[in-house]
Amino acid sequence: MVATANQEEVDPASLLTDAGFPNPHVRANQPRPAGPPVALGPRPSEPPVVQGPKHAATSKAQEKAPASTRVEDKQADCSAAKAQVAEAAEDTPKAKDEAIDEESTSDEEEEDEEEEEEDEEVLAQARALADILSKVTPCADFYPVTLAQASDRQRNEIHAPKWSYAKGLRLMVKPANADDCILLVANCMLTPEINQEESNWAIHRAGHVVSPTFATHSRQLGWSHHVCMPYVDQPGKRMELDYQVGFNSGSTLTRFVLSPERQRRHFFAVTFPAYQVSWVEEDTRQAIAPGTWNDVDGTDDIITVLPGDKVLCICTIRYDAQWSSEMNRGRFTIARDDFGLDGLADRGLQSVRALGPDLKRVALMATVDDPPPGPHLYRVRSALTTGCDTGVVNVIEGDRQLALLRLPGHLVHGPCRTEGPVTIDSGNWMEIPGLSVTVNLRKARDKVMIVYHTDCNPEDYFYEAHFTVFRRGSSGSAKNIGYTDGFGIEMISSDYRASSEYPVGILCDSPGALGTWTYYMAAKVVNTGTSSENPMVTVGYSGSITGILLTTK
């Protein structure tokens, strides 16, 4: 539930959501596994082990195993690592060799001995945890960054299944090691030229699609979309890699324009050592019925963190919403162990809507977690809330990925979380309380990766809300780093045929000067013409913003 390091001191089963319900992410009846913990990586004194290309370390038997079995195995592995700490305390000489004669020992002596045993158990647990963490390689201090930007206006002329490539968004990346992982993120803006628009987007390597296929669905001319596409790639080769952003129309009847008013779009890559990244992909079909949270098959993984480490969690999940009502919402979240990263509000990290069936899309979740040291199991979960249960289902199908990237704490500023829900009712930008982070640049050419997310809860059936990020320097002046000052970065609207309701994104910013820079999220609403006032939205039940310093040697 609460995504802080202090949460491990609280019994997860005793927590209640803001609505008064029990913690929905507790793993019920989890058995205590036997045997040693999972492998946690090379020791700091040893060079990282080259693991090769994707899935190379997965045996054929594991590849054929059912997704539910793999989930149970990973839960057992993570619990085994944590159980080693408790078992070490049970195996101490004090607990084994000393037998207390209860009949001849006074109450005070028994209390003293119990305190000594507790102290010894604490020390044993600390030694066991230290042994586990000694096998984890510390994070690197520098990460190669490649950035491409463009603002040329480009009209789409290619229809599916053929692909066209966004002008100026091409990266040439050469990892230092064969097993390095590359975080790729593209941010683009498109505007449909007809009412019924559909577009597809994907990241390509050497002309082949490697990421899930993102999609937009409009029903109004000129209603712009923001497309944020993150993907973690592990090519398994030490060679120069060619990445591009591809797009096409969903049919021969749709047309759209990329950067219609020459808005800046960008595509960047950050290379991480393999020992800092844990990721998993799946494409099995799974139906989510109305009700409580369910684990999404094949999207769970374990990562072990050192003291001070932060974890960047990114999930892209393709779904097919089988409903056509504003009363229904598909929800997604990420749980770490027994706690949801969306906090006690329990609204999820992403909420999706649809005004018609078979409108396939990709839902995006991105957040930075600050877990306590040790091994942790991260799970992607989904739920469906409906106004009517009859015939409503959310079908998860197609490529999906969960990526966990371990980051050194001294390069991560935040995560800074919301202070509580606020009402957005103004046509001017309003800062969201709590979603502000300050970063100190060491060099003028350093870059800052901004990871943000929050929720958006409309108070009307017709609504239009905009979200953006501002950058403020020491002089006090603020700059909107969105596409335009009017649009911002992302729009949440009831006029989309299918869309995500919670703004989320990963940006790469280059302030260009030394000093202290503050980034903060802001929101505004626009009158949709259905009333004399701006339809209000409530934001801030959950959300965070994080600044990650990408410094160069």
Residue 70: strand, helix, or coil = helix
For tokens 């290309």, name the residue.
53
Average pLDDT over residues 191-207: 92
Closest CA to 551 of 449, 472, 475, 443: 443
**Cα gap 297→219, rounded to integer Å:** 33
Q: Which residue has the tokens 């990709």?
A: 362
Q: What is the DSSP letter of 22?
A: B
For residues 373 and 311, the answer to whether their CB atoms sit within 8 Å is no
**Tens of pLDDT along 157-168?**
778 789 999 999
**Does the pLDDT of residue 352 top 50, yes or no?**
yes
d(CA 314, CA 316): 7
Which conformational region is residue 29 in: left (phi greater than 0), alpha (psi within -120 to 50 degrees), or beta? Answer: left
Q: Is the peptide bond before 415 cis (omega within 30 degrees of 0)?
A: yes
Q: What is the pLDDT of residues 288-318, one digit of tens each?
A: 999 999 999 999 999 999 999 999 999 999 9
Q: Beta strand pairing status for 208-209 and 154-155?
A: unpaired
Per-residue pLDDT, 529: 75
Query: pLDDT at position 19, please?
Result: 75
Q: Do domains 145-272 and 408-553 have the same CATH topology?
A: yes
**Torsion, Cα of 38, 36, 6, 308 (10° steps):** -50
**pLDDT > 50? residue 54:** no
pLDDT at 380 over 60: yes
Please compute, for residue 398, the number of CA atoms within 13 A of its CA located in the half-sphere on the CB side. 18
CATH number for the segment(s) 408-553: 2.60.120.760
Whether 40 shows a pLDDT value over 50: the answer reads no
Instruction: Tell me yes or no: is domain 145-272 CATH 2.60.120.1340.
Output: yes
Domain ranges of the chain: 5-133, 145-272, 408-553
Residue 404: in which H helix or E strand, if any? strand 393-407
pLDDT tens, position by position, 204-245: 999 999 999 999 998 888 889 999 999 999 999 999 999 999
Q: What is the C-alpha to C-alpha distance for residues 512 and 515, in angstroms, rounded to an integer? A: 10
